[in-house]
Amino acid sequence: MRRQAGGFSPLILVIAALGVFGALLYTNAVPNESARIVIPTQPAPTQTVNPWQAVLEAGFGRQGTLPPTIPPIGTFAPPTLVYSGDVSAPVAAGDVVSVPTISFASGATPTRPLPTLPVALTDLPVTAQAVTLPTQVWQPPPLIPPISRDPLGRDHYYFSRPVDSNATNFGLFYYTYGSDGPEDAWRVHAGIDMPNPVGQTVRAAGSGRVAFAADGLRIEGAIFQNTSSYGNVVVIQHDFGFEGRPLFTLYAHLNAVLVMPGQYVNRGDPIGLVGDSGRVSGPHVHFEVRMCPTTTCNDIPSYGDTYNPLLWMVSYVGTGVIAGRLVDSFGEMIEDADITIRDWSRGTVEDTTTTYIFQDTGVDVNPDPNWQENFVASDLSVGRYEVITLVNGVRLSQVVDVVEGMTTFVELAPPEGVQLVAPPDDAALPAPTIAPEFTATPGG
């Protein structure tokens, strides 16, 4: 599968002493010569200035905004760093993470006093772990968010990825948003998992204020939304919303948290390090996009207010996204069905995903307000694809073209005269026996 082949990119890694960490930050900040790219030709801009970007960057409270409708202006950023340091010496047991001094972006000083952190940042323990670097794989640079190239303004690619381009920056294919993992045994996934080594930098996907940042495992009273399964977790409330509804992103299972509640962060700022805290099967960052059900929020929206991050994170140059809706003869969404994305000209399978599962528990995953999809595949190179599924022996497929930086929508429905009824969903199946990430009752 393409994603597996392209997979594990480099890692900046290890948690070591301040010097090493500083060096890592430095390499993060300095684009490697070999990573420079040729800027591809872009569509002619319709305006010399993108007012959407300017408004977003200025920040404008919680009123949200209409989706942008013009392409981004400006140059592409090169892929962030290639780590070339010496990583042969693993950190020793008992080492502590050293973190840079917290500083605020100019003009972004919090308007309310910062709460006292329950644990000093420098006291967070580190699990000694040897890290081996995978072979460097070149990645195209990301487009610059926010973009909405859909002519009808339905797209809302407002966020960048929470990890660098040379990290594993896509979700695990076997535990996609809304799916229940291998053998239908895991909890329905409210986010995506990006497996990376402990110590990989986790970055803010967009600008905003830190709404929660703490160790959900060990600190009584500060356990995030009644579940310690998230481990060390950061939640950012963004200074922009969607149709007036406040947007949040969540980053879980961190090894170390580098921000404080109330702190203002810009897109790309380091907010933590990848870890394996909480209930996990291995180190990764669990990334969620949450949106308030209304235009106001009194608190971080709940576990039942998540949306598929793949429809919010900007594409890489030369790639796009397919969002689809698989329905039966009555127009009802078919759950937990395997979807195959096949390259039309080459015949190769480029991606697989699974349709969303709705368990009617009150904390279900949600289709996008604009697309009403029940599956998404992203990071597809521009080109023609066949989207295929097999339900009760009936093969459904559509051929679609993927466009850079946009969502291509496809509906898979039985043709006239073919009776197809959705198989029973997982609600009727035995309760999951394995829940690697969330076992406690979600709160919120």
Give min distance, CB of 437 to Zn ion, in A.
5
Between 230 and 371, CB nearer to Zn ion = 230
Give min distance, CB of 284 to Zn ion, in A.
7
Apex CA 94: angle with CA 92 and CA 98, to 5°? 90
Between 64 and 191, CB nearer to Zn ion = 191
Between 189 and 267, CB nearer to Zn ion = 189
Q: How far apart are CA 133 and CA 343, in angstroms?
A: 30
Give min distance, CB of 49 to Zn ion, in A.
38
Beta bridge partners of 341: 351, 387
E-state strands within 204-329:
208-215, 232-242, 245-257, 264-265, 270-274, 284-291, 306-307, 319-326
Give min distance, CB of 406 to Zn ion, in A.
26
Is residue 193 at the binding interface for Zn ion, with CB under 5 A as the rule?
A: yes
Q: How far apart are CA 378 and CA 323, in angstroms?
A: 8
Answer whether 245's CB lies under 8 Å from 64's CB. yes
Number of residues that bind Zn ion (CB under 5 A): 4
Give min distance, CB of 427 to Zn ion, in A.
21
Torsion of CA 93, 274, 21, 142, to 10 degrees: 160
| Long-range Cβ contact pairs of 175-179 (< 8 A, separation 24 or more) | 176/353, 176/354, 176/375, 176/376, 177/306, 177/308, 177/309, 177/310, 177/356, 177/365, 177/376, 178/308, 178/354, 178/355, 178/356, 178/357, 178/365, 178/374, 178/375, 179/336, 179/353, 179/354, 179/356, 179/357
Between 72 and 191, CB nearer to Zn ion = 191
Which parts of 292-311 interact with Zn ion (CB under 5 A)? none
Is residue 209 at the binding interface for Zn ion, with CB under 5 A as the rule?
A: no
End-to-end CA distance of the chain: 37
Beta bridge partners of 364: none
The per-residue b/e assignment along 253-262, b for 16 or more CB within 10 angstroms, e otherwise, is: bbbbbbbbbb
Q: Which stretch binds Zn ion (CB under 5 A): 75-83, 189-197, 201-209, 348-356?
A: 189-197
Give min distance, CB of 53 to Zn ion, in A.
30
Give min distance, CB of 359 to Zn ion, in A.
17
Between 147 and 188, CB nearer to Zn ion = 188
Give the dihedral sign, CA 38/309/4/390: negative
Between 425 and 437, CB nearer to Zn ion = 437
Is residue 342 at the binding interface for Zn ion, with CB under 5 A as the rule?
A: no
Answer whether 300's CB lies under 8 Å from 279's CB. no
Give min distance, CB of 190 to Zn ion, in A.
7
Between 191 and 405, CB nearer to Zn ion = 191
Between 163 and 412, CB nearer to Zn ion = 163
The three-state (H, E, C) secondary structure of 313-376, written as one string: ECCECCEEEEEEEEECCCCCECCCCEEEEEECCCCCEEEEEECCCCCCCCCCCECCCCCCCCEE
Give min distance, CB of 99 to Zn ion, in A.
24
Between 193 and 404, CB nearer to Zn ion = 193
Provide the pairing of β-strand 284-291 with 338-343. unpaired
Answer whether 269's CB lies under 8 Å from 204's CB. yes
Taking CB under 5 A as the rule, which mask of x and - marks residues 410-439 in contact with Zn ion? ---------------------------x--
Q: Which stretch binds Zn ion (CB under 5 A): 72-80, 190-198, 206-214, 224-232?
A: 190-198
Which parts of 261-290 interact with Zn ion (CB under 5 A)? 286
Which parts of 23-82 interact with Zn ion (CB under 5 A)? none
Which parts of 384-413 interact with Zn ion (CB under 5 A)? none
Between 150 and 437, CB nearer to Zn ion = 437
Give min distance, CB of 189 to Zn ion, in A.
6
Between 67 and 436, CB nearer to Zn ion = 436
Using Cβ positions, the residue closest to Zn ion within the complex turns out to be: 286
Q: Which stretch binds Zn ion (CB under 5 A): 25-33, 135-143, 183-191, 356-364?
A: 183-191
Give min distance, CB of 253 to Zn ion, in A.
8
Q: How far apart are CA 425 and CA 335, in angstroms?
A: 6
Contact footprint for Zn ion (CB under 5 A): 191, 193, 286, 437
